[in-house]
Structure 1
Amino acid sequence: MNQNNKVRNYLIIGVCMLLFGTLITINSSLTSKSMTQLVNPSLSTQEYNWYFNPRNDGKQPNPIQEANFFRNYSSYYVGDPNEKVIYLSFDAGYESGNTNNILDTLKKHNAPAQFFVVESYIKNNPDIIKRMEQEGHLVCNHSKSHKSMASINDLDEFKKEILSVSEAYKEVTGKEMPKYFRPPMGKFSETSLKNTQDLGYSSIFWSFAYVDWYENKQPTHEYAKDKIYSRTHPGAIVLLHPNSKTNTEILDEVLTHWEQEGYTLKTLDYLTKKK
């Protein structure tokens, strides 16, 4: 091999090594960037479905046991067991024409509530959102697209699910959205609760709910009232759906019943400031 060939081969080898080293650096950088996009990889991403064990004796139900870590991440499902306070909440994915009637009934009883709404609800119903806020209710965060937050492994996507809703609320009302988040479908993980907390939000579960969301399969008035009355307890966080015709029609009776039983309705601000 002559001298020129040797020099040429050395140059080729050198260039290849330089390119290989550059590729390794780029790949390492991309891997590092990818890792930063993972949502708290040190925490469990196992998905759980919220549930509680109902009681009919006027006492608070016991919550999910296999995921009791929820208590560590600014999460609530119930209030003070010794105080006859109810936190009435509605999960609103869309407007079915009932909400203004519900607001009329709440106004009649001077009863505050919390409405957990998705982004599209805010954009499609700005006048209702303004009315909720102006009449003393809390309009709270129920995510952008109503997907399981436990299924989101990208931090930017996770943030967008929550922050885009608060941005839409501010555009409509000019105010900051209350920092309460209800996990869609009650699905959560330790990671999702931690990341919700890191965004400054409390996660709000519930200690009462019943099957009220099927518009074409609504429970009777008597069935619904029996469920609600028999499972009412101090500190209850009650979850209803405003698309329910039954809920809309019985709400006046329910609020009257609670008042007669000595209960007061309050907002989540009262709950969290007591803790």
Structure 2
Amino acid sequence: MVRKLYLIAGLYAACVIGAVLSGCSIYDKEDLSKMVATPGDAECQADGAKNGEGDAEGKEKSGDKTEDVESNTDTDGESRGEDMTRLRDYSQISTKKYSWYIVRDKNHGMSGCDNSFPLEQYDAFYVDRVCAEKNEKVMYLTFDCGYENGYTEQMLDVLKKHNAKGCFFVTMTYIRDNPDIVKRMKEEGHQVGNHTVHHPCMPEKSVEEQKSELKECSDFMRNETGYEMDMYFRPPSGEYSEQVLQLAKDMGYKTIFWSMAYLDYDVNNQPGTDYVIDHFAKYHHPGAIPLIHNVSSSNAQALDTVLTNLEKEGYEFRSLNEMKIE
């Protein structure tokens, strides 16, 4: 009996040594979760999942001891963010609500904004500062999509005509009601960013509610369309707090505000085609991120002319993935 026990123990030890030498690939997902002691040590992931490029840093508190923990994101940008959001004490981060605003520059310089705190520390941006400082004529077109009003596919046609890329920030209900349009966005090389489930005032929500707004929208995108949501977040109505921005960063998102905007979202009080064309002519600037609402008839009618005029000025329209973030 004793001899059998020694034999079993020896075989078990050999298996463990073999597993260590061969890496983590032999473990299934459940086994791996048991192996990993802390999220920061998870260098091997099941099913061949790759780590992304998220570099958000957080604090893991244990009594009075505080340790730095590095956060990474996998292919869907959120699973490692799950670890980060559990580690951080969000009660220590300001919940003061801000409403995004810009100060236009009529000389085609970079717009001003609220400088209460540096956005970049939260991976939040409203302009490509590198392009602006180098006077590179690049623009990043962004569209907010809360619901469909019959104009989005027309706008996609225009983008395709100009070989222009954009990012469409969609709510969960937009995905639910328009899965084929969302698929087309992805198929034609655009980004689809997170605009939450219910379009709430995020600073007025609890941390768990904020997290749910982002995660449920992303999960629904994957399940409904088969595409992963691009890891860009636009706060509904431009309302945010440092806590909201930190949570989004910890979940793997870059928050994208805007450096150009006008009142285009009220479908019953549209600014008009000429107004939109003139607005872009007056306020375009290198590194600009314009906010364009997909429900606007004025935008739909003006977009082709706007892009044509900007191309004559030397502009190109790049993907947010090409932003020069330093």
Q: Does residue 245 of the first structure (1) align with residue 297 of the second (2)? A: yes
Give the whole-Å Cα distance in 2 for the aligned partners of 1:62 and 1:246.
26
Greater shift, 38-47 or 71-80, is seen at 38-47
- Which residue of 1 is the match for residue 262 of structure 2? 210
Q: Is the radius of gyration larger for structure 1 or structure 2? A: 1
Q: Residue 55 of structure 1 aligns to which amino acid in structure 2?
A: D
Contact 1:69 / 1:190 at 8 angstroms: preserved in 2?
Answer: no
Q: Secondary structure of the equivalent of 1:226?
A: helix
Relative to 1, partners in 2 of residues 1:40 and 1:213: Cα closer, same or farther, differing over 3 Å? same
Give the whole-Å Cα distance in 2 for the aligned partners of 1:93 and 1:47.
22
Q: Does residue 170 of the first structure (1) align with residue 222 of the second (2)? A: yes
User: 1:100-119, aligned counterparts within 5 Å?
Assistant: 100-119=153-172
Q: Secondary structure of the equivalent of 1:237?
A: coil
User: 1:129-208, aligned counterparts within 5 Å?
Assistant: 129-153=182-206, 155-208=207-260
- Which residue of 2 is the match for residue 54 of structure 1? 104
Relative to 1, partners in 2 of residues 1:159 and 1:220: Cα closer, same or farther, differing over 3 Å? same
- Which residue of 2 is the match for residue 75 of structure 1? 124
Contact 1:88 / 1:114 at 8 angstroms: preserved in 2?
Answer: yes
Contact 1:39 / 1:195 at 8 angstroms: preserved in 2?
Answer: no
Structure 1 gaps, min length 5: 1-35
How far off its partner does 1:136 sit? 0.6
Give the whole-Å Cα distance in 1 for the aligned partners of 2:120 and 2:98.
14
Contact 1:39 / 1:191 at 8 angstroms: preserved in 2?
Answer: no
- Which residue of 1 is the match for residue 70 of structure 2? none
- Sequence identity percentage: 42
Q: Residue 50 of structure 1 aligns to which amino acid in structure 2?
A: W
- Which residue of 2 is the match for residue 84 of structure 1? 137
How far off its partner does 1:172 sit? 2.8
Give the whole-Å Cα distance in 2 for the aligned partners of 1:218 and 1:39.
44
Contact 2:270 / 2:296 at 8 angstroms: preserved in 1?
Answer: yes
Structure 2 gaps, min length 5: 1-85
Relative to 1, partners in 2 of residues 1:151 and 1:69: Cα closer, same or farther, differing over 3 Å? farther
Give the whole-Å Cα distance in 2 for the aligned partners of 1:227 and 1:60.
15
How far off its partner does 1:158 sit? 1.4
Q: Residue 103 of structure 1 aligns to which amino acid in structure 2?
A: L
How far off its partner does 1:173 sit? 2.9
Q: Secondary structure of the equivalent of 2:91?
A: coil
Using the size of structure 2 for normalisation, the TM-score is: 0.70
Q: Residue 69 of structure 1 aligns to which amino acid in structure 2?
A: P
Q: CA RMSD in A?
A: 1.6
Give the whole-Å Cα distance in 2 for the aligned partners of 1:212 and 1:160.
29
Q: Residue 195 of structure 1 aligns to which amino acid in structure 2?
A: L
Runs of 4+ in 1 over 3 A off after TM superposition: 36-39
Using the size of structure 1 for normalisation, the TM-score is: 0.83
Give the whole-Å Cα distance in 2 for the aligned partners of 1:216 and 1:39.
44
- Which residue of 2 is the match for residue 231 of structure 1? 283
How far off its partner does 1:169 sit? 1.2
Q: Residue 141 of structure 1 aligns to which amino acid in structure 2?
A: N
Q: Residue 264 of structure 1 aligns to which amino acid in structure 2?
A: E
Q: Give the count of matched residue pairs.
A: 237
Give the whole-Å Cα distance in 1 for the aligned partners of 2:274 and 2:317.
22
